[in-house]
């Protein structure tokens, strides 16, 4: 009996030691994964904050030129540039799938070819979008906009064409570098661009009084300076394993890249345009001016928080793609869990803060008590938006890493436009809940989409995803690029 008791105590002690070791091992894995994740996420968040800030700075200086110019600038950058941004960013996200999986599989030589293919596809897309920028004035007049504002917007839209083309190199080189966790240079260049933009905006707009011309020259340079730095970094030796020079292979097998890019573009565009519909649905409601002012403040706060979520989206897409490329399904799953929980924790903190602040938020943006009361009324919806936004974009990043863009595009159509928008219209207009009803409907669509993506991620056979990644890599790297490469130093 004494021997049995000793044996039980020894077994219990061994079990306790094993549990402590497993717990210690889990925390070590979480810490290790968090470090790898933040290497991508932190610079990505900073870069997105910087890009978001460029338009804010431009708008602030344009506002000193005149109210007509400010209205025209806001129209061009919130409608046209956002439209082009959504399409090109979405299409560029296909590169994140390809480069991330190739880097994980150590197929480094094909990554430069993927980058060049993406440049070709996005350049052709941008050329298709150019007529919209050229004919902005007649299009706006046809849509019922004020002729004076439409005329100024037409001038600004011509200046905005180089901004649109800057997205081609900005998005693609960022995803190329992020796939290799070499994105500190991106954050450094973004900070440099902001500093230059503030100085040039002051010099050209306020000092030399060049008006819209000065403001747009500064804006164009602010978007292109980081691109030049990133292209130099990629092509001049700092990415020697993944960039082997310009290659004729970039013009081969373009159709699979086009299909994946179109699917990715549809996926992200459907998400980015969703909030724009919220504003449009509010325009013809009672007391529309106050409602739109309050809503714009909430959407502005939501937009800043979205930059954090997009940083985590970039991080999880890279981590999932890398691990699938390596053939490690368990590591991919673990990365998803760590990134989603980290982003959700930040979202939960922001949810509590904005739920408590209520109308106090508004006084940062306005002195109107009426608008502040309206913001306070909307703040619970803003808080829930921040919470949902901490999870939903991260799950979209999982889709990008795994290459599910076409599947998620269909999910977005169903959840956003078949469920969310009709419910919003019903609550806002039929049940007279006004902007709150519209927003509740939109949130309901986002909630359904988030639940669907969670189920999709949970039920996925990740071992099968490893095989799909391997097939994709083998199919697109079957030709040896070194035989058909034009060395970049020639």
Confidence of residue 248 (pLDDT cuts 50, 70, 90): confident
Chain segment 273-290, per-residue pLDDT in tens: 676 666 656 555 555 556
Angstrom distance (rounded) from CA 80 to CA 71:
13
Which single residue is written with the structure tokens 């979209």? 396
Query: In whole angstroms, how far apart are CA 73 and each of 3, 152, 154, 342?
Result: 85, 8, 10, 37
Chain segment 161-218, per-residue pLDDT in tens: 999 999 999 999 999 999 998 888 999 999 999 999 999 999 998 888 888 999 999 9
pLDDT at 117 over 80: yes
| Mean of all residue pLDDT scores within the chain | 82
Q: How confident is the model over 380-399, as a mean pLDDT?
A: 89
- Quote the pLDDT of residue 162: 96
pLDDT at 33 over 50: yes
Please list the residues that pair with 76 across neighbouring strands.
none
- Quote the pLDDT of residue 454: 92
- Quote the pLDDT of residue 435: 77
Q: Which residue has the higher pLDDT, 476 or 91?
A: 91
Query: In whole angstroms, how far apart are CA 318 and each of 37, 101, 221, 330, 398?
Result: 9, 8, 29, 15, 9
Q: Which residue has the higher pLDDT, 101 or 299?
A: 101
Q: Tell me how far the alpha carbon of residue 365 is from its chain's centroid.
A: 25
Chain segment 343-379, per-residue pLDDT in tens: 999 999 999 988 888 778 777 766 778 878 888 888 8
Q: Which residue has the higher pLDDT, 229 or 287?
A: 229
pLDDT at 482 over 50: no
Q: What percent of the chain has pLDDT over 90?
A: 31
Q: How confident is the model over 74-87, as a mean pLDDT?
A: 82
Q: How confident is the model over 419-442, as a mean pLDDT?
A: 84
- Quote the pLDDT of residue 278: 64
Burial 351-364 (b: 16+ CB within 10 A, else e): beebeebbbebbee
Confidence of residue 17 (pLDDT cuts 50, 70, 90): very low
Structure tokens at 83: 């439209």
The mean-pLDDT minimum among 85-89, 245-249, 362-366, 443-447 falls in: 362-366
The mean-pLDDT minimum among 118-132, 225-239, 426-440 falls in: 426-440
Please name the helix (run of DSSP H) or strand (run of DSSP E) that holds residue 486, with its range, or none. strand 485-486
pLDDT at 227 over 90: yes
Structure tokens at 176: 């190329």
- Quote the pLDDT of residue 243: 92
Q: What percent of the chain has pLDDT over 70?
A: 87
* Cβ-based neighbours of 192, under 8 Å, separated by 6 or more: 225, 226, 229
């Amino acid at each position: 009996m004494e021997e049995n008791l000793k044996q039980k105590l020894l077994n219990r002690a061994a079990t306790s030691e094993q549990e402590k070791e497993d717990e210690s091992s889990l925390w070590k894995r979480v810490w290790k994964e968090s470090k790898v994740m933040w290497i991508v996420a932190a610079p990505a968040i900073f870069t997105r904050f910087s890009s978001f800030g460029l338009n804010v700075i431009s708008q602030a200086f344009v506002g000193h030129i005149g109210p007509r110019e400010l209205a025209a600038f806001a129209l061009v950058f919130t409608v046209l540039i956002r439209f082009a941004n959504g399409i090109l960013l979405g299409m560029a996200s296909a590169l994140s799938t390809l480069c991330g999986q190739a880097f994980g599989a150590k197929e480094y030589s094909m990554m430069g070819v993927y980058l060049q293919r993406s440049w070709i596809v996005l350049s052709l897309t941008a050329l298709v979008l150019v007529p919209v920028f050229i004919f902005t004035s007649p299009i706006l007049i046809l849509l019922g906009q004020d002729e004076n504002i439409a005329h100024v917007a037409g001038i600004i839209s011509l200046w905005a064409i180089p901004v649109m083309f800057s997205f081609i190199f900005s998005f693609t080189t960022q995803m190329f570098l992020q796939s290799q966790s070499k994105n500190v240079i991106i954050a450094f260049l973004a900070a440099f661009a902001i500093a230059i933009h503030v100085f040039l905006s002051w010099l050209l707009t306020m000092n030399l009084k060049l008006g819209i011309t000065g403001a747009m020259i500064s804006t164009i340079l602010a978007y292109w300076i980081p691109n030049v730095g990133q292209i130099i970094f990629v092509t001049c030796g700092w990415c020697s394993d993944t960039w082997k020079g310009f290659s004729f292979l970039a013009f081969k097998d373009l159709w699979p890249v086009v299909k994946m890019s179109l699917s990715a573009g549809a996926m992200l565009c459907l998400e980015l345009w969703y909030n724009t519909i919220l504003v449009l649905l509010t325009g013809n409601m009672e007391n529309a001016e106050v409602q739109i002012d309050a809503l714009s403040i909430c959407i502005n706060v939501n937009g800043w928080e979205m930059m954090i979520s997009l940083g985590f989206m970039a991080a999880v897409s890279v981590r999932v793609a890398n691990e699938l490329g390596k053939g490690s399904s368990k590591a991919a799953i673990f990365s998803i869990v760590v990134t989603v929980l980290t982003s959700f924790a930040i979202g939960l903190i922001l949810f509590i803060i904005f739920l408590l602040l209520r109308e106090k938020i508004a006084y940062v943006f306005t002195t109107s008590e009426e608008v502040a009361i309206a913001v306070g009324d909307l703040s619970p919806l803003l808080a829930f938006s921040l919470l949902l936004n901490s999870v939903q974009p991260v799950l979209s990043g999982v889709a990008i890493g795994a290459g599910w863009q076409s599947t998620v595009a269909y999910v977005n159509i169903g959840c956003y436009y078949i469920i969310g928008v009709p419910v919003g219209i019903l609550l806002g207009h039929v049940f007279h809940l006004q902007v709150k009803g519209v927003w509740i409907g939109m949130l309901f669509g986002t909630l359904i989409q988030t639940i669907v993506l969670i189920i999709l991620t949970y039920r996925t056979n990740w071992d099968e995803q490893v095989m799909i990644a391997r097939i994709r890599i083998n199919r697109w790297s079957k030709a040896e690029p070194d035989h058909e490469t034009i060395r970049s130093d020639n």
